[in-house]
Amino acid sequence: MLGRNEYSRVTSAHVGDIERRLRSMERRLERAGGRASASATQTADHIGDVIASALSGIAERFRGDASGMAEEAAKLGSAAAKLGNNALHRVSKEVEHRPLVTLAVAIGVGILVGLASHRR
């Protein structure tokens, strides 16, 4: 068994070893920090240029896509209007040929909507 003096001597030897290692690591980090700071400035400049270039390319693509999207939206709107007109024409023909069936369907839908809104 270790005595109190021997224990504190061993402990202080370990503490001294730890302190030496920490000082050595601090010196290494300081040297690496100096080198990293010089290269970080260059890297930051380069990254800024790369990001600016990428954002410029993206903005240009969006400008091109926006005009294409406007044309596509106009085409879709026209197609939707045609489909709506066709559906309205078909419904009006059905109402002319089968007025009672149409009236029954309308009443049924009205009742379902009324029940659904009443439950909320």
Domains of the chain, residue spans: 4-119
Least confident range of 14-18, 40-44, 47-51 = 40-44
pLDDT attached to residue 1:
47
3-state secondary structure of 114: helix
* CA dihedral for 90, 95, 98, 100, sign (positive or negative): positive
Query: What b-and-e string marks burial along 6-41, b requiring 16 or more CB atoms within 10 Å of the CB?
Result: eeeeeeeeeeeeeeeeeeeeeeeeeeeeeeeeeeee
- What number is the average pLDDT over the span 6-22? 71
Cβ atoms of 76 and 68 within 8 Å: the answer is no
Q: Record the pTM.
A: 0.36
How many CB atoms sit inside 10 A of residue 94's CB?
13
- What number is the average pLDDT over the span 99-119? 86
Alpha-carbon radius of gyration of the chain: 40
pLDDT at 63 over 80: no
- What number is the average pLDDT over the span 59-76? 74
- What number is the average pLDDT over the span 88-113? 85
- The model's pLDDT over 92-102, given as tens digits with 9 standing for 90+, comes to 888 788 888 88
